[in-house]
Structure 1
Amino acid sequence: MSGNEEERPERPSEVDGTAHLFSALGKIIKVLRKNAGMSQAELADATHCSEDLVSAIERGVRTPQPDFLIRADPALGADGVLVAAVTDVRAALARARVRHPGWFRDFADAESKAVASHYYEVQAVPGVLQTPAYARSLFEHRRPMLDEATVDQRVADRMSRQLIFDRWPVPTISFVLEAAVLLRPFGGREVHREQLRRILDVAQRRTVELQILPQDREEHPYLDGAFTLLTPKGGREVAYTEIYGHARLITDPDEVRMFSERYGILRSQALTKRESLVWIEKLLGER
């Protein structure tokens, strides 16, 4: 789900600059790559990752992992500049794992370790798919208002959750998004377009299944709101709901089974992955 951990205001804590660090590193990597006369595809080959990942790191959408920085430094002729940032990146990632609001921390911890995660969303793009600009727009417009320090921290916290896409072995990850979620231009036209492209980047991975549920469906198995299903390693599946700021991690097997059945029906009613990608491309005007 969108992971609306902003719904319960807490006392602002000191911002550690994590989001700014990752954004700055992305810009530095882009400049180094261009100065080296390399394309994103060439840097991807040199660092043993995908071109999409390089693009996302340069745009500040994905976190540059320490291993990536270590491989990219000699490839870009950075003379130790990127390697020098590794210690700070590791420290920032460690802090990010424990900064979530207390009431949200159990879910964030379970999400980071789950072997399978399935998200159904009805209002906003799930937090693990959000761009920094999209997340910032949501936090800045919530009421009661959050101060700038808290907004910065919450954006960084949300970006830290996206590390699940870089784990190995890769967890099973799927999404069912109501079409209305991608029709709302939160943050304005450019932020909206960047967000749609981010979703395309993630959805094109073979490790991710993303489906759109069109608005013209005449039947629906669950109209009570968004939910997430998580399966911990060696444990039973659990469900998570968050409505009007009230978070609930559900472990009762019978209740979890109901959410699992609903999710299965939702997937059967949604567009296929390929159809969903085409739907988003058309929304972007790229088809």
Structure 2
Amino acid sequence: MQDCVDGSPSMRMFGAVVRALREARGGSREDFGVYVGYSASQVAMVERGARMPSARFVARAGEFLGAREAVEAAAEHLERRRYPAWFDDYVEKESAAVSLWAYDSHVLKGLVQTEDYARTVLGARVPMLDDDEIERRVQARLERQVLLTRVPPVSLSLVIEEWVLRRPVGGVAVLRCQLERLLELSEKRNISIQVMPTAIESHAGFTGPWTLLETPEREWVAYVEGQAGGLVLQDRTEVSELFQRFGMIRSQALTPGDSAKLIERMASEL
């Protein structure tokens, strides 16, 4: 997933202020970076408005540049995005969804992640995120989970590859808690969780993960995500194909009951 920033005017303004102060002081990006804990390339990204500075960066930059008040004043105007710009459209549709169906083949969907699991996933990102940025993303991810308990709650159907549930994300203790969380969710009437066994030789999901959303107007849209971002699909033909594909993999996966038994067994083995 990309940075939660997209070169907003406030970021470009902050970066321009920092660059002007640094150049006026005669400091190099390398020396400045050592002081604030950033590499020279990361400093360059901040200066051109392509990277959100951390709170530590702001504080240390003010010290290094001898202009604490100016740097802090510029930082007050920073608009810290909760999500990447390309994710906004999906989040808006997700928050109003009547039904949500998804196939996960690499990592669990954010809607069902525990806090520690989410923190591990976000902490593994390359390029590395700052600690405060990770925490912002974790909290934003957890807040989205109100979708599962609101009134009326979303109708959630998940098909998850077995190997996703066996990867010890965050360590054994974190994985065990995550599996227990899935078991708790599977007991809710509005949630169906199915496991696609690794032993299955072939199934309809080999093209990668995707999500289907039903809007309050009872129309379906799809969402696909890759290394460079995500895309909401509304073309009826494309959505129809993913709809058919999901129906097929749901029939090829274990039943919700058998899936719960498998997840419970995996948790007990940890």
Q: TM-score, normalized by length of structure 1?
A: 0.66
Shift in CA distance, 122/184, structure 1 to aligned 2, threshold 3 Å? same
Contact 2:86 2:231 in 1 (8 A): no
| Distance across 1 between alignment mates of 2:182 and 2:205 | 24
Match of 1:274 in 2: 257
Amino acid at match of 2:2: E
Q: TM-score, normalized by length of structure 2?
A: 0.71
| Distance across 1 between alignment mates of 2:96 and 2:235 | 20
Contact 2:86 2:229 in 1 (8 A): no
Counterpart mapping for 1:108-119 below 5 A: 108-119=91-102
Contact 2:103 2:159 in 1 (8 A): yes
Match of 1:185 in 2: 168
Question: Does residue 159 in structure 1 map to residue 154 in structure 2?
Answer: no
Shift in CA distance, 13/153, structure 1 to aligned 2, threshold 3 Å? farther
Counterpart mapping for 1:31-46 below 5 A: none
Match of 1:142 in 2: 125
Match of 2:182 in 1: 199
Question: Does residue 12 in structure 1 map to residue 52 in structure 2?
Answer: yes
Contact 1:13 1:149 in 2 (8 A): no
Counterpart mapping for 1:252-267 below 5 A: 252-267=235-250
Amino acid at match of 1:146: L
Shift in CA distance, 9/110, structure 1 to aligned 2, threshold 3 Å? closer
| Distance across 2 between alignment mates of 1:152 and 1:13 | 14
Where 2:223 maps in the other structure, the secondary structure is strand
Contact 1:115 1:232 in 2 (8 A): yes
Contact 1:239 1:256 in 2 (8 A): yes
Measure how far apart 1:139 and its partner are: 1.2
Measure how far apart 1:169 and its partner are: 1.6
Counterpart mapping for 1:21-60 below 5 A: none
Amino acid at match of 1:212: V
Q: Extract unaligned runs of 5+ from structure 2.
A: 6-50, 56-79
Measure how far apart 1:235 and its partner are: 4.1
Contact 1:9 1:146 in 2 (8 A): no
Contact 1:170 1:207 in 2 (8 A): yes
| Distance across 1 between alignment mates of 2:153 and 2:130 | 36
Contact 1:12 1:149 in 2 (8 A): no
Measure how far apart 1:149 and its partner are: 1.2
Question: Does residue 168 in structure 1 map to residue 156 in structure 2?
Answer: no
Measure how far apart 1:13 and its partner are: 7.1
Question: Does residue 215 in structure 1 map to residue 255 in structure 2?
Answer: no
Contact 1:8 1:245 in 2 (8 A): no
Measure how far apart 1:225 and its partner are: 1.1
| Distance across 2 between alignment mates of 1:198 and 1:260 | 27
Question: Does residue 131 in structure 1 map to residue 114 in structure 2?
Answer: yes
When the two structures are aligned, how many residues end up with a matched partner? Answer: 201
Counterpart mapping for 1:73-112 below 5 A: 99-112=82-95
Identity, in percent, stands at 36
| Distance across 2 between alignment mates of 1:13 and 1:276 | 43
Name which of structure 1's ranges 269-278 and 166-175 shifts more when overlaid on structure 2: 166-175
Match of 2:105 in 1: 122
Q: Which has the larger radius of gyration?
A: 2
Amino acid at match of 1:159: L
Contact 2:194 2:259 in 1 (8 A): yes
Measure how far apart 1:284 and its partner are: 1.2
**Residues 53-89 of structure 1: per-residue CA shift (max 9 Å, x gap):** xxxxxxxxxxxxxxxxxxxxxxxxxxxxxxxxxxxxx
What root-mean-square deviation, in Å, do the aligned CA atoms of Structure 1 and Structure 2 show? 2.0
Match of 2:229 in 1: 246
Where 1:167 maps in the other structure, the secondary structure is coil
